[in-house]
């Protein structure tokens, strides 16, 4: 386990460690993976699989995929397995009969999984459902590798303050934020000018607006570089994902919107950069493989041996960068607007986007209407005068629900407008 670390950026944001003295882990590290059956969960389990003696799995969770959860629980001899769907308890118990793994079901069981005494927790539940379990891990002062963006996008200030108060250590698992985390250690807050997160540009990087408007689900799911879950892949195509990441970076590292730039970098080799006052720019590079940032979180404050491919820059030959086009990708502009507005606007942005993406997947709206629905929901929320600081998970969940309902109400007119 890491000893107390030197903390990054002042009182409210002291949960992300900046530098720490190196420690050598002796006993097996106990770990919990929330969202073990997803794409991030899969990469995490792969890393654990590579060093079975180094880790003891405390708890694993999933939403409804009993078979995959039970398979992992058996393989890793997990102490506890939780399925979020309350109707699946018996199925999980049957699938784990004869093992020593305790079973639980429902949201409370997922929270229990996070509350159990693991040193290190991967928070990789997708969507706003990840907030309460991540908070449960944070509240007991765990080291939390945070993949779930929604914790920060929906409740960033509150989440980071609570982590700081509990002495939890938040390690950014998202590749861009992990890159910033690694680069930020080269200077201090006063020396920082800006951070730059890169974006692949997704499958529609070179497309005209009219073609993006009509893009199909199959086209949106063809990410050029990364292999990820469906929702985040669509968010990459709309650049909403980059918008979410700008918001995430702001809360994680206590940065103002103007201190965060985005650069389109189609090769996805440079993941993030930090510019300091002497004009040094420190970057983190690696092949596009989520196991690299996850391995950094798993080993932190040391480094473990990772299974990812070696970066061969000579073979890649060229690294290119472009300014993002806010006109063709309005979702990115909306993220900056929401961040500047604050007081729940980023939660509205996220909720409306989730409704829009689900509607796009269901064939109810065109791709181009995703940003339209988010914008209309944000405008409605601004008119409502409901803006106020979020001070609890329940506050964030209320704003999330209101925004989802509003987005669902606005959906038919946005669908009609776009067709």
- Is 38 a residue that touches ligand NDP (CB under 6 A)? yes
- Is 149 a residue that touches ligand NDP (CB under 6 A)? yes
Stretch (H or E) spanning 350: helix 345-361
Place of tokens 């001899």: 77
- Is 32 a residue that touches ligand NDP (CB under 6 A)? no
In the list 58, 91, 119, 150, the residue contacting ligand NDP (rule: CB under 6 A) is: 150
CB-side neighbour CA atoms (13 Å) of 220: 28
Backbone phi, psi, residue 15, to 5°? -85, -15
Could you tell me whether strands 55-62 and 80-83 are parallel, antiparallel, or unpaired per DSSP bridges? parallel
In the list 13, 15, 31, 40, the residue contacting ligand NDP (rule: CB under 6 A) is: 40
**In 234-391, beta strands by DSSP E:** 260-264, 270-276, 281-285
- Is 174 a residue that touches ligand NDP (CB under 6 A)? yes
Residue nearest to ligand NDP (CB): 38
Counting DSSP H helices and E strands in the chain, the numbers are 17, 13
Q: Return d(Cα 192, Cα 74) in angstroms, integer.
A: 47
- Is 272 a residue that touches ligand NDP (CB under 6 A)? no
Which among 71-79, 96-104, 123-131, 193-201 is the span making contact with ligand NDP, rule CB under 6 A?
A: 123-131
State both tokens at 300.
Answer: 């932190």
Minimum CB separation of residue 71 from ligand NDP in Å reads 12
- Is 87 a residue that touches ligand NDP (CB under 6 A)? no
Any idea of the CA torsion for 188, 192, 194, 199, to the nearest 10 degrees? Answer: -30
Contacts of 127 (CB under 8 A, 6+ apart): 148, 150, 231, 354
Nearer to ligand NDP, 1 or 67 (CB): 67
Q: Return d(Cα 325, Cα 318) in angstroms, integer.
A: 21
Restricting to residues 298-357, which ones interact with ligand NDP according to CB under 6 A? Answer: none
Backbone phi, psi, residue 137, to 5°? -70, -40
Which among 57-65, 179-187, 280-288, 376-384 is the span making contact with ligand NDP, rule CB under 6 A?
A: 57-65
Q: Contact 274/210 with Cβ under 8 angstroms? A: no
Q: How many residues bind ligand NDP (CB under 6 A)?
A: 29
State both tokens at 198.
Answer: 């890169």
- Is 29 a residue that touches ligand NDP (CB under 6 A)? no
Q: Return d(Cα 64, Cα 314) in angstroms, integer.
A: 44
Nearer to ligand NDP, 244 or 264 (CB): 244
Q: Return d(Cα 249, Cα 247) in angstroms, integer.
A: 5
3-class state of residue 10 by DSSP: coil
- Is 232 a residue that touches ligand NDP (CB under 6 A)? yes
In the list 5, 228, 273, 332, the residue contacting ligand NDP (rule: CB under 6 A) is: 228
Which among 7-15, 56-64, 204-212, 300-308 is the span making contact with ligand NDP, rule CB under 6 A?
A: 56-64
Which among 34-42, 211-219, 280-288, 398-406 is the span making contact with ligand NDP, rule CB under 6 A?
A: 34-42
Q: Contact 58/83 with Cβ under 8 angstroms? A: no
- Is 413 a residue that touches ligand NDP (CB under 6 A)? no
State both tokens at 312.
Answer: 């061969």
Minimum CB separation of residue 189 from ligand NDP in Å reads 25
Q: Fill in the per-residue mask, 276 to 305: x = in contact with ligand NDP (CB under 6 A), - = not in contact.
A: --------------x---------------
Which among 30-38, 211-219, 300-308, 342-350 is the span making contact with ligand NDP, rule CB under 6 A?
A: 30-38
In the list 12, 65, 225, 386, the residue contacting ligand NDP (rule: CB under 6 A) is: 65
Contacts of 95 (CB under 8 A, 6+ apart): 66, 67, 69, 70
Minimum CB separation of residue 10 from ligand NDP in Å reads 25
Minimum CB separation of residue 385 from ligand NDP in Å reads 30
Q: Where along the sequence are the contacts to ligand NDP (CB under 6 A)?
A: 35-41, 61-65, 84, 110, 124-127, 129, 147-150, 174, 226, 228-229, 232, 290
């Amino acid at each position: 386990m890491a000893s107390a670390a030197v903390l990054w950026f002042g009182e409210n944001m002291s949960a992300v460690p900046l530098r720490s003295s190196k420690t050598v882990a002796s006993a097996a590290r106990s770990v919990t993976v929330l969202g073990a059956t997803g794409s991030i969960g899969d990469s995490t389990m792969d890393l654990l699989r590579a060093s079975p003696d180094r880790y003891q799995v405390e708890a694993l969770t999933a939403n409804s995929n009993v078979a995959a959860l039970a398979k992992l629980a058996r393989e890793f001899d997990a102490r506890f397995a939780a399925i979020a769907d309350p109707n699946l308890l018996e199925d999980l118990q049957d699938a784990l009969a004869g093992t020593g793994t305790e079973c639980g079901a429902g949201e409370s069981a997922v929270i229990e999984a996070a509350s159990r005494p693991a040193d290190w927790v991967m928070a990789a539940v997708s969507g706003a459902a990840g907030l309460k379990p991540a908070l449960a891990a944070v509240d007991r002062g765990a080291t939390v590798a945070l993949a779930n963006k929604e914790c920060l996008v929906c409740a960033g200030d509150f989440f980071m303050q609570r982590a700081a108060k509990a002495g939890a250590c938040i390690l950014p698992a998202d590749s861009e934020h992990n890159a910033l985390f690694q680069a930020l250690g080269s200077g201090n807050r006063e020396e920082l000018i800006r951070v730059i997160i890169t974006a692949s540009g997704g499958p529609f990087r070179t497309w005209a607006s009219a073609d993006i408007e009509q893009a199909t689900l199959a086209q949106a799911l063809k990410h050029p570089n990364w292999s990820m879950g469906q929702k985040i892949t669509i968010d990459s195509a709309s650049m909403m994902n980059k918008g979410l990441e700008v918001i995430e970076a702001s809360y994680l590292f206590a940065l103002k919107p103007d201190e965060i730039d985005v650069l389109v970098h189609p090769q996805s080799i440079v993941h993030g950069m930090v510019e300091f006052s002497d004009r040094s720019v420190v970057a983190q590079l690696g092949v596009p493989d989520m196991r690299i940032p996850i391995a950094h979180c798993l080993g932190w404050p040391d480094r473990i041996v990772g299974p990812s491919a070696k970066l061969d820059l000579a073979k890649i030959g060229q690294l290119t960068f472009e300014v993002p086009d806010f006109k063709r990708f309005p979702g990115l502009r909306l993220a900056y607007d929401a961040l500047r507005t604050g007081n729940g606007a980023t939660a509205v942005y996220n909720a409306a986007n989730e409704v829009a993406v689900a509607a796009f997947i269901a064939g109810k709206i065109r791709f181009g209407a995703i940003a339209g629905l988010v914008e209309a929901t944000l405008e409605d929320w601004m008119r409502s005068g409901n803006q106020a600081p979020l001070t609890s998970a329940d506050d964030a969940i209320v704003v999330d629900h209101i925004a989802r309902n509003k987005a669902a109400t606005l959906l038919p007119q946005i669908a009609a407008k776009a067709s």
